[in-house]
Structure 1
Amino acid sequence: MKKFLIVGLGNIGEKYTNTRHNIGFKILDALAHKEALTFETQKLGDITTYKIKGRTFILLKPSTYMNLSGKAVQYWLTKEKIPQENLLVITDDLNLPFGNIRVKTKGSDGGHNGLKDIQHTLQTTKYNRFRFGISDEFSKGRQVDYVLGEWTEDEYSKLPERFEKSIELIKSFGLAGIQNTMNTFNGK
């Protein structure tokens, strides 16, 4: 059985729950809800397992806070003996319009502290990432407030459809492979 580690980046704690920076947690929560899965708190994060068509998806919401995400990613890759090419990291992206999706097999951290820590811990920029656009609708010097701010009413109303698309993307990653997933979902 092929195994995949799907990591949704976010910060733990009530004050971060509905922030843009927690989109990775929210996408995994949407998948868990749709498939009636329950997360359990384990070492370095909340974990649940989703099985479909001979594939096992281990969904991880790190409890290390965003800036130390690499520690949780490394631990679960090693513990579950999952090859790095079967890792998919879900993160917010200021450089994409709201709700736009971009899947990449490598790249820079783009100033994202979670990706920066994963890159540092894994000692590579070659790992799959799923970037979810949160746009850059903030005034100069207000980036932190924007990223850690909550969704607007308009954005919030559009999230359920974006979650459905994100769930399809995650399944495609394990069932159809990274290249097919990129071809199907990038820019959608």
Structure 2
Amino acid sequence: MKLVVGLGNPGKQYEQTKHNIGFMCLDYYANQAKESFKFERKFNGETLKLGNLVLLKPHTFMNLSGESIRLVMNYYDIDIDDVLVIYDDLDLPLGKLRLREQGGPGGHNGIKSIIEQLKTNDFKRVRVGIDSNPMIEAKDYVLGRFTKDELDVIVSSAKQIYQVINEFKDNQEFTLIMNEYNKSP
């Protein structure tokens, strides 16, 4: 069983905000599969199970994302090697993907929560660039909505992440996936 987590915040007020790029990428995946998520109280999140793949959008809010992930991992007995987390990154240009097999939180509270809950930083991740704006404080910037032009870039990224998820689900070696999608355009 594989678990792919998209980080974000629940609620209409956070839809299409930069911090919700993980949710947006999983929504794209679900739309391509012509399936939809359902909220499960036992996980405090929305899930979609497709064969050997579980997609999760935690409803714990970003800063407590690890709690929901731990619940799903325990329920399905998913190993840390079979977890992939998708989230926003202020330090990457808009739409740029950066895949890693491990790492620290880099100032991201969702990743910090996951590391605290799982007691390891050894999990696969896809960072999606949302850029930054030195004129706007980071906490306000990440909760800002994408413009139409920015959304077009994000859809292109979601298409690539769709492929990443499929390759991950099909047990392709993650190093090979990283080599493919970390290439500069």
1:153 corresponds to which of 148, 151, 157: 148
The structural deviation recorded for 1:93 is 0.4
C-alpha distance in structure 2 between counterparts of 1:160 and 1:136, whole Å:
19
Task: Report the Cα distance in structure 2 between the residues aligned to 1:45 and 1:113, rounded to whole angstroms.
Answer: 18
TM-score normalized by structure 2? 0.94
Give the residue type in structure 1 aligned to 2:145: E
Match for 1:19 among 3, 11, 17? 17
Alignment of 1:34-49 (within 5 A): 34-42=32-40, 43=42, 44-49=44-49
Question: What is the DSSP-based 3-state SS (H/G/I as helix, E as strand, rest coil) of the residue aligned with 2:146?
Answer: coil
Please give the alpha-carbon distance, in whole angstroms, between the structure 1 residues aligned to 2:50 and 2:182.
24
Q: Is the 8 A contact 2:95 2:156 kept in 1?
A: no
CA displacement 1:137-186 (0-9 Å, x = unmatched): 242x6111110000123211222222111100111122213111111111
CA contact (8 A) 1:45 1:64 kept: yes
1:91 paired with 2:87, answer yes
SS in 1 for 2:27: helix
TM-score by length of 1: 0.92
The separation in 2 between residues aligned to 1:25 and 1:81, in whole angstroms, is 23
Identical amino acids, percent of aligned pairs: 38
C-alpha deviations, 1:102-158, integer Å up to 9, x for none? 11111110000000000011111111111001012242x611111000012321122
Whether 2:64 is the aligned partner of 1:80: answer: no
Query: 1:26 and 1:138 mapped to 2: Cα distance?
Result: 25
Asked if structure 2 preserves the Cα contact closer than 8 Å seen for 1:37 and 1:49, the reply is no
Aligned to 2:6: 8
Residue in structure 2 matched with residue 169 of structure 1 by the alignment: 164
Indicate which of 109, 119, 131 corresponds to 2:127.
131
Q: Give me the whole-angstrom Cα distance separating, in 1, the residues matched to 2:175 and 2:126.
A: 13
Provide the C-alpha distance between the structure 2 equivalents of 1:96 and 1:60, rounded to a whole number of angstroms: 24
- Aligned partner of residue 115 in structure 1, secondary structure: helix
Kindly report which structure 2 residues correspond to 1:34-73, keeping only aligned pairs within 5 A, or say none. 34-42=32-40, 43=42, 44-51=44-51, 56-73=52-69
Moved segments of 4+, more than 6 Å: none
2:103 aligned to 104, 107, 114, which one? Answer: 107
Q: Kindly tell me the number of residue pairs found equivalent between the two proteins.
A: 181
